[in-house]
Amino acid sequence: MSAPSVLIAGCGDVGSRLATQLLDFGWEVHGLRRNVARLPDGVIGVAGDLFNKDCPATWPIGAVDYLVYCAAATDHDEAGYRAAYIQGLQHVLEWLNDYGQAPKRLVFVSSSSVYGQQNGEWVDETSSAVAAGYSGQVMLEAEQLALNSGFPASIVRLTGIYGPGREWLLTQVRRGYRVVTEPPLYGNRIHVDDAAGLMAFLLEADHRGVALDDVYIGVDDAPAPLADVVAWLREYLGVTEWADDASVRRTGSKRCSNARAKALGWTPKYPSFREGYAAILEGRC
């Protein structure tokens, strides 16, 4: 079986980690981003702007076996989200059409913000996706664009990504961060390496002929109340003083399940925040 090719559109942090894993599997990897000098070694650079309708000059001419759309919004308002997740995807689909390319599968990176549950409910891929805010609403619209692209497509709804360079919570805890304990404010997390690993796993599975579902949730094994995470980090970091008042109150609460991905054979390297944050703090990732 020949090595498959993949184009990662929006090859930033998560996309670059995905690229590195696929290169290790022997894939041919093309990475589209504005500054291709920041791509990992071995990735074929495609210098381009997803927000610009003009096709990049270095667009791959040959077959593109797989497309991963992994953009990130630069402006965090509704217009910025539409530009990144809808208009950008439309541009990429048009460029594929211009070159007569038909990927075997499109993987669209979405977000668990499409779920509006707020009372600690367990959520899976069959749960109602009724987003409360514009970000989730735009994501749902973009998901439909991907699913109706004419190519087989799978949506990966990632939860809160953390990892090296994504250490806001660690900084806040060191500063004396305090959150409410009741009712519990459940959060969902996935280490950035596991986010990339899940996508690599799905692409490898599809390449082997495994039938994939339309939607997967990317989350670790253990959704946890934010207060529990903060308490564990305090103990690990040796923080003994914190604010008198809680700075975060109830803004939404749900527990996302990764059962569908695990049933396919995927296992997160960091099953909970404990393993993931310990690896960050010990410099192991």
Which run of H or E residues covers position 282?
none
Task: Evaluate whether 154 touches 214 at the Cβ level (below 8 Å).
Answer: yes
Burial (CB count within 10 angstroms: exposed 0-12, middle 13-18, buried 19+), residue 219: buried
- Greatest distance between any 2 Cα atoms in the chain: 61
State the pLDDT at residue 131.
85
Residue 187 and residue 195: Cα distance in Å, rounded? 16
- pLDDT for 254 equals 94
pLDDT at 251 (0 to 100) = 63
Helices (H), the chain: 13-24, 78-81, 88-98, 134-147, 168-174, 192-207, 226-237, 259-263, 273-281
Angle of helix 13-24 relative to helix 192-207, nearest 10 degrees, comes to 50
What would the DSSP string read from start to end of 23-85? HHTT-EEEEEES-GGGSPTT-EEEE--TTSSSPPTT---S---EEEE----SS-SHHHHIIII
Q: Provide the residue-wise pLDDT of the chain in tens; the chain has 285 residues.
A: 578 999 999 999 999 999 999 999 999 999 999 999 999 999 999 999 999 999 999 999 988 999 999 999 989 899 999 999 999 999 999 999 999 999 999 999 999 999 989 899 999 999 999 888 899 999 999 999 999 999 999 999 999 999 999 989 999 999 999 888 888 899 999 999 999 999 999 999 999 999 999 999 999 999 999 999 999 999 999 999 988 776 765 567 899 999 999 999 999 999 999 999 999 999 998
Q: Within 13 A of 61's CA, how many CA atoms are on the CB side?
A: 2
pTM surpassing 0.85?
yes
Let me know: does 198 contact 155? Beta carbons within 8 Å.
Answer: no
CA distance 65 to 207: 9
3-class secondary-structure state, position 99: coil
